[in-house]
């Protein structure tokens, strides 16, 4: 195992350089020559990011397209090679078919449980969000930093475009789970994407969520340890988005929420 890691390290470092300099052709050639690089993380980053994470973070749409196309056009053995490092790390079986392998690739988590879809949302790249959803990325998967979904990341970054894309291109099976609509998906503390948009003062994201009928009164299920409201303070359990706006003293966010309340009352 140690020998395999040491042998792979120079190749991962070379791929890392190609990705960071935006040399898509060199990156693709390296991946084609050594498919294992797709899910190898030893040198690329201590955070466990993969080439797809890096490409999504830097909005390299064509590179992501080419990586996905490479997997689709490869034999199953090649796809399995590409995912072998991840499957060993996660102690999960290798994919049984190419399509399953592609889905696994677009959902590869880093050390914090963050997927390429989360990176694309935080980078404000709706085009990548749409592409990853079409390839089977799971919009409901939560990170290890509080159980935040890709929609939470779009709300954090203020990406109204990614919010719209996520909610308009959800597969039918992902519209809701266990009686909860995706737009109201909670973190482990029960914080919805709207809570996050309010906390970060992202008015555009708030409007995008409200246009999709995000719940205004959802109470948090526990103290909001994953976000500090002011000087290390958190909101108590049972806090709605408006409580967040009030504690933060965010008048603009409070007005936006109250406007939403007013509109819904007028609709009956």
Distance CA 130, CA 133 (A): 5
Helix-helix angle 24-33:2-20, to 10 degrees = 160
Q: Block means of pLDDT (10 residues each) for the chain, length 268 residues?
A: 51 82 87 92 70 94 95 98 96 98 98 97 98 98 96 98 97 92 95 96 97 95 63 75 92 96 86
Domain ranges of the chain: 1-111, 113-268
Give pLDDT, residue 46.
64
The pLDDT score that the predictor gives to residue 148 is 96
Give backbone dihedrals phi and psi of 64, rounded to 5 degrees, phi first.
-60, -45
pTM of the model: 0.91
The fold adopted by the segment(s) 113-268 is: 1.25.40
228 within 8 A of 187, measured Cβ to Cβ? no
Give dist(CA 49, CA 39) in Å, integer: 8
CA 216 – CA 240 distance, rounded (Å): 7
User: Three-state DSSP class for 149?
Assistant: coil
Cα 188 from Cα 122, distance rounded (Å) = 19
CB atoms within 10 A of CB 203: 17
Question: What pLDDT was estimated at residue 266?
Answer: 85
Query: What pLDDT score was predicted for residue 5?
Result: 45
DSSP H or E stretch at residue 181 = strand 180-181
């Amino acid at each position: 195992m140690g020998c395999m890691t040491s042998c792979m390290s120079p190749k991962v470092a070379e791929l890392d350089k190609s990705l960071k300099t935006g040399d898509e052709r060199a990156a693709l050639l390296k991946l084609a020559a050594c498919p294992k690089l797709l899910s190898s993380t030893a040198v690329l980053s201590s955070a466990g990011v993969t080439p797809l994470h890096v490409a999504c973070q830097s909005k390299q749409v064509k590179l992501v397209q080419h990586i996905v196309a490479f997997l689709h056009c490869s034999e199953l053995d090649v796809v399995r090679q590409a995912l072998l490092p991840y499957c060993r790390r996660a102690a999960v079986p290798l994919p049984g078919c190419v399509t399953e392998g592609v889905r696994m690739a677009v959902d590869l988590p880093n050390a914090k449980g963050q997927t390429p879809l989360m990176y694309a949302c935080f980078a404000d790249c709706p085009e990548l969000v749409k592409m990853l959803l079409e390839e089977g990325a799971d919009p409901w998967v939560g990170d290890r930093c509080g159980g935040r979904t890709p929609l939470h990341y779009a709300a954090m970054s203020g990406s109204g475009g990614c919010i719209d894309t996520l909610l308009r291109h959800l597969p039918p099976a992902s519209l809701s789970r266990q009686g909860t609509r995706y737009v109201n998906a909670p973190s482990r503390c029960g914080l919805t994407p709207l809570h996050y948009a309010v906390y970060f003062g992202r008015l555009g994201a708030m409007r995008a969520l409200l246009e999709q009928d995000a719940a205004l009164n959802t109470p948090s299920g526990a103290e909001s340890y994953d976000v500090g409201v002011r000087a290390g303070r958190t909101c108590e359990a049972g806090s709605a988005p408006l409580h967040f706006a009030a504690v933060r003293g965010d008048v603009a966010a409070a007005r936006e929420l109250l406007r939403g309340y007013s509109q819904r009352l007028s609709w009956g």
